[in-house]
């Protein structure tokens, strides 16, 4: 389960796994594109970095936040460029891409949809038993991966319950 | 000179060159992504297609339309994903990316900034001596390449005039 939090300067990523029914932290980090480089070069740096993560971690699923409509159209438009690159590189590895809204993400992690970024990062740290609080970008990426793991587990449980009740 | 007109279903491309002071048509076409595929898969198809064009045509410069803010935010946001992929693949070939606004493009090709898409396509056909009118997507891509060739030539002429006047 690889979560990606795309940006045009910093892209967060986080990998979690299910081992013996427990959520385990595998790795998290960021891909950073030099601030003074033009957008195309930054996007190429981001793709190369994500390609390396995908190659080394070989996740089964990639998880991103759904596209949301922020107030600042210009910054969302720039962000969509990086998001396009992240979706493309995931598909080039023939991986399914799952999307969760910021609201679903927060509700799944913290219990309510209006949780702050800090609350999410702290919950990620606690759930994974990390010594340090992850950076906001890597924290969001880990949160996405955890969120999908939860949703996936719920689906399996529901499936099993359905089979039992037949 | 490779012009690219990105879209999430159809990407137009067009290559023109300067030979003996004249603008020559090299090739134009489209990369098409199946309509029924999810966005990530379409973006991967688009990148693979553009990579092939870049590899076979080996252009010196890639030309795109600058990001514009249309009324329909949702469609521009989706478009920005494809634009991000086009910018990224150009930069991965270490090519400079030039941008022109739709207004500059029309002014350069047709003479005024409010020309219609049809007028642009017809001017492209006439300038390049094409037997058939190019498709709108490929036509826009060719127009971008021609626009940059014009701008480039003007810059050289200005440079030469400056040197003579010294």
What are the structure tokens assigned to A84, written together? 């396009």
List the single residue in B with minimal CA-CA distance to A42.
B88
What are the structure tokens assigned to B22, written together? 């004249």
Residue A116: the pLDDT is 86
Cα(A140)–Cα(A23) distance, integer angstroms: 16
Mean pLDDT of the B30-47 span: 97
User: What value does the mean pLDDT of chain A take?
Assistant: 92
Question: Domain range for residue B6?
Answer: 2-165
Q: In this complex, how many residue pairs, one in chain A and one in chain B, have their CB atoms less than 8 Å apart?
A: 81
pLDDT at B21 over 70: yes
The region that residue B33 occupies, defined by phi over 0 for left and psi between -120 and 50 for alpha, beta otherwise, is beta
For residue A156, give the H/E element and its range.
helix A136-165
The dihedral over CA atoms of B62, B65, B66, B68, expressed in degrees to the nearest 10, equals -160
pLDDT at B80 over 70: yes
Q: ipTM of this predicted complex?
A: 0.88
Work out how many domains chain A is built from and give that number: 1
Over the range A104-114, which residues count as b (16 or more CB within 10 Å of their CB) and which as e?
bbbbbbbeeee
Unique residue bearing structure tokens 């219990």: A111
CB B25 within 8 A of CB B16: yes
Chain B positions in Cβ-Cβ contact with residue A69 (cut-off 8 Å): 73-74, 77
Chain A positions in Cβ-Cβ contact with residue B48 (cut-off 8 Å): 92
pLDDT at B99 over 70: yes
Residue among A44, A77, A80 minimizing CB distance to B88? A44
Percent of chain B exceeding pLDDT 90 equals 70
CB contact (8 A) between residue A87 and residue B48 = no
Unique residue bearing structure tokens 């793709």: A47
**A87 vs A72, residue with greater confidence:** A87
Cα(B17)–Cα(B144) distance, integer angstroms: 12
pLDDT digits (tens, 9 = 90+) for B125-166: 999 999 999 998 999 999 999 999 988 877 877 788 888 876
For residue B2, give the H/E element and its range.
strand B2-5
CB B54 within 8 A of CB B93: yes
- The CATH number of residue A127's host domain is 3.30.420.10
* Active site (catalytic) residues of A: 5, 65, 137
What are the structure tokens assigned to B106, written together? 């029309």
CA nearest neighbour of B68 among B92, B101, B112: B101
CB contact (8 A) between residue A43 and residue B87 = yes
Chain A residues with a Cβ under 8 Å from any Cβ in chain B = 38-41, 43-44, 46-48, 67, 69, 73-74, 76-78, 80-85, 87-88, 90-92, 97
What are the structure tokens assigned to B115, written together? 């020309």
Chain B residues with a Cβ under 8 Å from any Cβ in chain A = 38-41, 43-44, 46-48, 67, 69, 73-74, 76-78, 80-85, 87-88, 90-92, 97
Please give the DSSP secondary-structure letter assigned to residue A101: -
Overall size of chain A counted in residues: 166
Q: Which of A9-18, A29-38, B108-117, B123-132 has the lowest mean pLDDT?
A: B108-117
Residue A70: the pLDDT is 67
Chain A positions in Cβ-Cβ contact with residue B87 (cut-off 8 Å): 39-40, 43, 81
**Most confident among A80-84, A115-119, B151-155 (mean pLDDT):** A80-84
Q: What is the pTM of this model?
A: 0.91
pLDDT digits (tens, 9 = 90+) for B50-73: 999 999 999 999 999 988 766 688
What are the structure tokens assigned to A61, written together? 């699923």
- From the number of C-beta atoms within 10 Å of its C-beta (0-12, 13-18, 19+), residue B134 rates as buried
Chain A positions in Cβ-Cβ contact with residue B43 (cut-off 8 Å): 84, 87-88, 91
Mean pLDDT of the A11-31 span: 94
- From the number of C-beta atoms within 10 Å of its C-beta (0-12, 13-18, 19+), residue A164 rates as exposed
Helix axes A39-57, B73-92, angle to 10 degrees: 80
CB A43 within 8 A of CB A13: no
């Amino acid at each position: 389960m690889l979560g990606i939090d795309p940006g045009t300067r910093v892209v967060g990523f986080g990998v979690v796994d299910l081992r013996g029914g427990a959520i385990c932290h595998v790795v998290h980090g960021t891909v950073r594109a030099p601030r003074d480089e033009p957008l195309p070069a930054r996007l190429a740096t981001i793709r190369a970095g994500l390609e390396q993560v995908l190659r080394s971690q070989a996740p089964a699923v990639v998880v991103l936040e759904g596209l949301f409509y922020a107030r600042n159209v210009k910054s969302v438009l720039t962000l969509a460029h990086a998001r396009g690159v992240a979706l493309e590189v995931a598909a080039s590895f023939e991986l399914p891409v799952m999307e969760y809204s910021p609201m679903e993400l927060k509700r799944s992690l913290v219990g309510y949809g209006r949780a702050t970024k800090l609350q999410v990062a702290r919950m990620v740290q606690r759930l994974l038993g990390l010594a340090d609080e992850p950076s906001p970008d890597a924290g969001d990426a880990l949160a996405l991966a955890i969120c999908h793991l939860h949703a996936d587990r719920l689906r399996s449980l529901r499936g099993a319950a359905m089979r039992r009740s037949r």
